[in-house]
Amino acid sequence: MQNGNQSNNNNNKKKKAGKVISLAEAAKGSIIFQQGKPCSCQAHQHRLISNCLSCGKIVCEKEGEGPFSFCGSLVLGKGSKYAGLDESPPLISDAEAVAEAYSKRLVDYDRNSAARTTLIDDQSDYYEMEGNNWLSMEEKELLRKKREEIEEEEKAKQNRVVVTFDLVCHKTRRIRVDEASGGELSLDLEETTARENGGF
């Protein structure tokens, strides 16, 4: 009784493992399959075997495994495998190998290289204008205020002039205050006599 159960278990395991067909045997055509009749039921009337990996047509039980009658490629059922297909590494052409090595080199360069280029953005440094479409309203208002402050400072620098009148020598001196030198006066910018101006 136990021997019968063990043989049934072994048969079940063999059935679950599925068929294994070597690629060499399939290529030679030494395996003989039962040739089924073409069927267009799309596995609605018969049990599904698989679909063709070449043309995509669904193969039902009536058509069976083997060379497909529609395109001639080998079709195997679910669970059947080509022997040696899982163990072999995928074949890579020379062009693919060169492209992969190049991409790895670029990624490595990007990760490990020092920054050799710097970007100088003159537009953002010097020429930001209120009319720039990409600025928000707050940024435009801030730029307008900064521009007004700079203009006021320029006017204040131009307006800070000290005028001295020398009544003895009949001379006038206009001296501008130089803020860069800490408020010191820069002498002899303009010196005129009263006679030159039509005075006395």
Sign, Cα dihedral of 141, 145, 148, 150: negative
Which residues span the domain enclosing 137? 130-158
69-78, 180-189, 191-200, range with greatest mean pLDDT = 69-78
> How much is the average pLDDT of 96-114?
90
Among the listed residues 36, 60, 34, the one whose alpha carbon sits nearest the alpha carbon of residue 49: 60
Instruction: Name the pTM for this structure.
Output: 0.26
In a domain, 183, yes or no: yes
Tell me what pLDDT residue 149 has. 93
In a domain, 93, yes or no: no
Higher pLDDT, 88 or 152: 152
Q: How many domains does the chain have?
A: 3
Q: Where are the alpha helices (DSSP H) in 18-128?
A: 23-28, 94-112, 122-126
pLDDT band for position 95 (cuts 50, 70, 90): very high
Among the listed residues 41, 66, 62, the one whose alpha carbon sits nearest the alpha carbon of residue 52: 66
Cβ count within 10 A of residue 75: 25
pLDDT(73) > 70: yes
Who contacts 45 (Cβ-Cβ below 8 Å, separation ≥6)?
39, 60
76 and 135 in a common domain: no
pLDDT band for position 163 (cuts 50, 70, 90): confident
In a domain, 48, yes or no: yes
55 and 19 in a common domain: yes
Q: Please give the Cα distance from 142 to 132 (Å, whole number).
A: 13
pLDDT band for position 188 (cuts 50, 70, 90): very low
In a domain, 107, yes or no: no
Tell me what pLDDT residue 110 has. 84
Cα-only R_g, the chain:
47
Tell me what pLDDT residue 61 has. 80
70 and 134 in a common domain: no
Phi-psi category of residue 182: left, alpha or beta, with phi > 0 → left and psi -120 to 50 → alpha: left
In a domain, 179, yes or no: yes
> How much is the average pLDDT of 172-184?
63
In a domain, 69, yes or no: yes
165 and 140 in a common domain: no
pLDDT tens digit sequence for 8-26: 555 554 444 556 666 666 5
